[in-house]
Amino acid sequence: MKTMKWKNNKLILIDQTKLPDELSYFTCENYKDVIVAIKTMVVRGAPAIGVAAAFGMVLGDLAGENLDQVAEEIKTSRPTAVNLFWAVDRVLESENPLEEALTMYEEDIETNLAIGKNGAEIISDGDTILTHCNAGALACVDYGTALGVIRSAYNEKKDIDVICDETRPLGQGARLSVWEMQQENIPVKLIPDVAAGYLMQKEEVDKVVIGADRVAKDGIVNKIGSLMIALAAKRFNVLFYVAAPLSTFDHDISIYDTEIEERGSEEVTRYGGSRICPERTEVRNPAFDIVPKDLITGIITEKGIIDPEKFDEFFEKLKE
Ligand code: MRU
């Protein structure tokens, strides 16, 4: 399953706001459509946002727009996932935007397969793995990062069970991750976000594997709820892994300097179309959590698994 396709000079996206009830598509004919798709979460997940943004640049280029301006506009669509900025700059610096975007598309799949292969090594037969939000095929071009690790372990015939957090307020775990697991008959159970601590306390979770929107020098940023899971995992000695491509790394900054997106109040005040609190309720809706590196067991990348305490060493090696 591919989250997006480039066809006849248009970007066709799976409309993730309609899943799991309906598998339908959203066509971007110009770069402004791509901005709408990213803002409204038709396409979401750090790597998918990055590649979609790259094709947004291509659409701008084909329409003869000023690419510096298009880049600035696309960069305002969502603030937290570093891939968006990385992808737009990469296309901006390239000689052939379409070729570059198509290369990024292919690279994303290759990268996720490598993350999956590396990550499968830490999954043992009999493991129950808890994941949060959707770091699956839908969050990338295909295969996924955290769910890619789970897919690889399952394809290696390991006997595993998956637990997906619902991921309030938008339900990416319930709507998207459960759907992805079911497509491949990977055993999966859905839990309310608030049940994760209880299950870890009862020793019903062996490992947590989640994705990241940004990996910085002192930790990671990922979907809201990730911090509480990491804290509970530390308390109950559950291994806590993050799966992310190097395109999500922003080694020079601190997690505390990352802009955390605040989304609209209606995502919190309404559920399944109905209001769940009194009218005029004031809301906070931060979309991402900051997880310091002392809560992380390892970061699974396409180049291997990194001990967060040895970040600097890892980056030095990459430069060699
Ligand atoms: O708000 P979303 O759905 O874009 O948030 C997505 C996540 O937090 C994912 O875990 C992250 O982007 C990694 S996706 C491989």
pLDDT one digit per residue (tens) for the chain, 320 residues: 899 999 999 999 999 999 999 999 999 999 999 999 999 999 999 999 999 999 999 999 999 999 999 999 999 999 999 999 999 999 999 999 999 999 999 999 999 999 999 999 999 999 999 999 999 999 999 999 999 999 999 999 999 999 999 999 999 999 999 999 999 999 999 999 999 999 999 999 999 999 999 999 899 999 999 999 999 999 999 999 999 999 999 888 999 999 999 999 999 999 988 999 999 999 999 999 999 999 999 999 999 999 988 877 877 777 77
**93 C-beta neighbours (distance < 10 Å), count:** 8
Query: Among 4, 43, 213, 224, which residue has the most ligand 1 atoms within 8 Å of its CB, making it the best to mutate?
Result: 213
The residues annotated as belonging to the active site are 213
Report the C-alpha gap between 173 and 232 in whole angstroms: 18
Nearest protein Cα to ligand 1, atom 10: 211
Q: Give domain limits for the chain.
A: 4-110, 117-319
Q: What local confidence, expressed as pLDDT, does residue 282 receive?
A: 98
Q: Is the CB of 82 under 6 A from ligand 1?
A: no
Report how far ligand 1's centroid is from the alpha carbon of 44 (Å).
6
Q: Which of 43, 44, 111, 263 to mutate to test the pocket of ligand 1 (most atoms within 8 A of CB)?
A: 44
Q: How many angstroms separate the CA atoms of 100 and 279, rounded?
A: 48
- CATH match for 4-110 among 1.10.3720.10, 3.40.640.10, 1.10.630.10, 1.20.120.420: 1.20.120.420
Indicate the CATH number for domain 117-319. 3.40.50.10470
Q: What whole-number distance in Å separates Cα of residue 112 and Cα of residue 243?
A: 9
CA of 320 to the centre of ligand 1 (A): 31
Give the pLDDT of residue 320: 72
Q: What's residue 110's pLDDT?
A: 98
Ligand 1 centroid to Cα of residue 135, in Å, is 6
Q: Taking the model in full, what pTM does it have?
A: 0.96
CB 230 within 8 A of CB 251: no
Q: CB of 81 closer than 6 A to ligand 1?
A: yes
Non-local (6+) Cβ contacts of 211 within 8 A are 45, 46, 133, 135, 139, 144, 145, 146, 222, 223, 242, 243, 244
Calpha distance 22→2 (Å, rounded): 16
- Same topology, domains 4-110 and 117-319? Answer is no
In this prediction, residue 153 carries a pLDDT of 98
Report whether residue 222 contacts ligand 1, using a CB cutoff of 6 Å.
yes
Query: Residues marked as binding for substrate?
Result: 44-46, 78, 172, 222-223
